[in-house]
Structure 1
Amino acid sequence: MKLSDKDLQFFIKKIKLQPESMGKYRDQVNNLKDKLNKKIAEDDRHGLKVTKYLISGSWKKHTILRPSGDHPIDIDLVLFVGGDENIHNDIGKLFDFIVEYLEEIYPQKDISKDVDAEGNTKSVTIYFSGSGLSVDIVPVVPLTTPENYVWQPSRHGNGKKYITSISKQLSFSLERRQQNPSYTSIVRAIKWWRNYNELKPTDDEPGLSSFTIELIVAYLDINKGIETNIEEGIIRFFQFISTEGIPEIVFEDSIQSIPSTYDSPIYIADNTNKENNVVKRMTDDRWSEIIEVAEEAFDTLNFAQARNNEGDTIQEWKSIFGPSFNIK
């Protein structure tokens, strides 16, 4: 039997960050914002300085999941750094400044700094032990042209950087939500499936990032028609992923072009810059694994639609999304 949007919204509400839980996180985020606003307003130093900030990631895009097991709540905080037009050529200096800046705001906290094997900084994190909230710090350097674009260091270390637009990523997400009221529900369900099947990227292994999932769902809406039915949107995602030789995914109004050659088995472009492959780390073996798991999900959910009673249908869905799946 087919499941209605009402049925699936019961599950979506279970896996999303609950309103009653958001308060404690929001309070900490607002406190951090207050500290940043005060620091930015009072900071009269010469040279490097933070000029503004943005909250981004799943929190801002309304696709955040409730914390579970190895998947805590994390929020991306983008810090715009000015005062040295050449700082993007010295990423180590940029991160050292960010750590020092945050220690001035939170002298009582240990600011976590993760580095790669060569000593390049991969990430800087503020961790709130009381709630388990992690705030991932993303330093960026604004560019004069293109307008609203920035240099951003790679989150995988290696000393590399790329050009993107945080504001355009956020406006793109907002447009998707406005055009499809089921967009965030479809994305959340697929992110839960990814976590349950251990397909999330790690330091050691590539996978399906939240941004990758959001872009694929958006690409399908734009190119195959907006799908507001949650069940059909989920199934369409699995069908697309499990298809051999999926097309290069690019978006209009983004700058640059896809490189003539690349090493990854697929290419999914950042919606603001075609040069940025968000699955650049993907290997043939890992992608084959993802295809296999997605194909199983596609076949199972199609079979679930053919089952004659609710109990059997739910069991099929549980085999894909885990024992927490239910509709009542």
Structure 2
Amino acid sequence: MSRQHVSHNDLVHFAETKVNLPSDKAKEYRAQADRLGEKLKSYLKEHPDFTLKEILLSGSLAKRTALRSLNDIDVACYISGVDAPHQINELLEYLADRLRTAFPNFSPEQVKPQTYSVTVSFRGSGLDVDVVPILYDNDPKGYGNLVSQDDGSFLKTSIPLHIEFASKRKKSQEPHFAQVVRLVKFWAKRMKQQDENFRFKSFMIEMILAKLCDEGVDFSDYPEALQHFFTYVAKSNLEEIIFFDDYYDPKKIGKFTDRVQIIDPINEKNNVGKLYTSVNVDSIVEAALEAGDAIDSALLAPTKQETVHYWQKVFGPSFQLKGN
């Protein structure tokens, strides 16, 4: 493949300037989440029977795959105690009330229950932290029942194991795995901006890329890595079951009849693609085909102008070469 006009290094520059959350911002945001956790630890020293036990950074910021457009932080709050309610709205009010108790410097207006989480707003930075409750009983691997952001159901999960799973793939191809994840997430975000009905959640993207990584796909050349992703989506039509054996025996995977079957790497009974219909899949496959065709055309284009034009079909007008 030709790299005469747009090379791997040009994609690196694009990622650093337009896609990735800047390192200073990432550090600031992590520090904000850490302060919440430290405040809770301090409160627990004086109130050891308090039912909020730990706050852990989660989501893309924890996995270091956040995009520049990140405007809030996801954290998980581990809750113990038999008196914790199991009705979602009651649990969120319960969590909000105890967050206000643990953090008395926050006004009531800064701690607000949402549909499936509680938002803590920092006045100084203007940053919002979305706190998702996890009911747990001191499991050593961090397993507990999370309130699903998809439908509000309780879902067995482990924040530490999810972060460990992602870290293993990142370390196998540092820094390329995380960067390709960000590039594909950026593409998907653009597709959503163009079509409000387009759905392709980041966790599913990460699982597909983790599968390709485990199968030996080299992520160090970004045009090639992106093409591998789009080719897989187009050829598989998302009909292949995706699963991992890091934390469970694949023989224990549940029986699913859903159109898309991408199994949670730390919970063999959870299909993260269960809500995706054939219409959703058709949109994803069509978009992947178009992106793959655009990359092929970019790599064969005779001029710099044409090459940039085709890459903009993938990433939008923000894609520019250094110095332009």
Shift of 1:4: 3.1
**Out of 20, 37, 53, which is 2:55 matched to?**
53
**CA distance in structure 1 between the aligned counterparts of 2:312 and 2:130, rounded to whole angstroms:** 32
| Residues 47-90 of structure 1: per-residue CA shift (max 9 Å, x gap) | x61122211111111111112xxxx4222111111122x74744
Matching of residue 9 in structure 1 with residue 8 in structure 2:
no
Corresponding position of 2:299: 305
Shift of 1:161: 1.1
Matching of residue 318 in structure 1 with residue 316 in structure 2:
no
Amino acid paired to 1:96: E
**CA distance in structure 2 between the aligned counterparts of 1:49 and 1:201, rounded to whole angstroms:** 43
**CA distance in structure 1 between the aligned counterparts of 2:186 and 2:137, rounded to whole angstroms:** 36
**CA distance in structure 2 between the aligned counterparts of 1:272 and 1:32, rounded to whole angstroms:** 26
Amino acid paired to 2:67: L
Do the aligned partners of 2:143 and 2:158 also contact (CA within 8 Å) in 1?
Answer: yes
Secondary structure of 2:114's aligned partner:
strand
Shift of 1:113: 2.0
| Residues 144-164 of structure 1: per-residue CA shift (max 9 Å, x gap) | 668432111222344x21212
Amino acid paired to 1:29: A
Identity rate, percent: 29
Amino acid paired to 2:291: A
Secondary structure of 1:276's aligned partner:
coil
Matching of residue 107 in structure 1 with residue 106 in structure 2:
yes
TM-score normalised over the length of structure 1: 0.85
Matching of residue 165 in structure 1 with residue 158 in structure 2:
yes
Taking structure 1 as reference, are residues 5 and 144 closer, same or farther at Cα in structure 2, changes over 3 Å only? same
Matches within 5 A, 1:1-328: 1-2=2-3, 3-14=6-17, 15-22=19-26, 24-45=28-49, 49-67=51-69, 72-84=70-82, 87=84, 89-104=86-101, 105=103, 106-108=105-107, 109-115=109-115, 122-128=116-122, 131-143=125-137, 147-158=141-152, 160-181=153-174, 182-198=176-192, 207-243=199-235, 244-255=237-248, 257-263=252-258, 265-328=259-322
Secondary structure of 1:163's aligned partner:
strand
Q: For this pair of structures, how many residues does the alignment match?
A: 311
Shift of 1:314: 1.3
Do the aligned partners of 1:199 and 1:290 also contact (CA within 8 Å) in 2?
Answer: no
Taking structure 1 as reference, are residues 261 and 176 closer, same or farther at Cα in structure 2, changes over 3 Å only? closer
| Residues 268-297 of structure 1: per-residue CA shift (max 9 Å, x gap) | 111111211112211221221111111100
**CA distance in structure 2 between the aligned counterparts of 1:99 and 1:123, rounded to whole angstroms:** 9
Corresponding position of 1:119: none
Taking structure 1 as reference, are residues 132 and 74 closer, same or farther at Cα in structure 2, changes over 3 Å only? same
Shift of 1:96: 2.4
| Residues 127-184 of structure 1: per-residue CA shift (max 9 Å, x gap) | 33554432121211235668432111222344x2121221111011111111012011
Taking structure 1 as reference, are residues 200 and 41 closer, same or farther at Cα in structure 2, changes over 3 Å only? farther
TM-score normalised over the length of structure 2: 0.86
Shift of 1:110: 3.0
Unaligned runs of 5+ in 2: none
Structure with bigger strand share is 1
Do the aligned partners of 2:181 and 2:205 also contact (CA within 8 Å) in 1?
Answer: yes
**CA distance in structure 1 between the aligned counterparts of 2:114 and 2:33, rounded to whole angstroms:** 22
Secondary structure of 2:268's aligned partner:
strand
Secondary structure of 1:197's aligned partner:
helix
Shift of 1:197: 1.0
**CA distance in structure 1 between the aligned counterparts of 2:158 and 2:26, rounded to whole angstroms:** 27
Unaligned runs of 5+ in 1: 116-121
What is the RMSD computed on CA atoms of the aligned residues?
2.6
